[in-house]
Amino acid sequence: MKSRKVFSAHLLIGSFLVLAGAALLLENFGMIDIGSVWRFWPLILIGLGIARMREAASRRDQGVGLWLVLLGLWFTVSILHIGGLTFSDTWPTIFIALGVSLLWKSLPEISTVDREQERTHGV
């Protein structure tokens, strides 16, 4: 039987979807104005990525988390025009990130056993 984690990415995603849906519904009814708050939605990707990396059981899971963080940062920079950058300026970074991802996947996986042997034997 699997034990349940108190905090998980599903809890975070589910909570966000409920809150976002409620906020959008209330805005449609004219009860609230979301306005410029919506510009910060990429922070959700960053949070999910950090959570994914913290809970990662494999290098693949770490990579997914890192992708979410990097996408969140890219969207944040482009939407908020940090440093004067826009989507039209920064879109080539996606190619760079994809290339790094492919290089990362080509590296051999180091198992937990190998890491423990390196620590104990200084190899």
Residue 47 tokens, joined: 């949070």
pLDDT tens per residue, range 47-63: 889 988 888 888 888 88
Judge if pTM exceeds 0.85. Answer: no
The predicted pLDDT at position 68 comes to: 92
- Give me the DSSP letters along the chain: -PPPPSS-HHHHHHHHHHHHHHHHHHHHTTS---GGGGGGTHHHHHHHHHHHHHT-SSHHHHHHHHHHHHHHHHHHHHHHTGGG--HHHHTHHHHHHHHHHHHHHHSPPPPHHHHHHHHHH--
Domain edges within the chain? 9-108
pLDDT tens, residue by residue, 64-100: 898 999 999 999 999 999 999 999 999 999 899 889 8
Query: Which is more confidently placed, 114 or 41?
Result: 41
pLDDT at 100: 84
Q: What is the mean pLDDT of residues 34-41?
A: 81
Confidence (pLDDT) at 118: 61
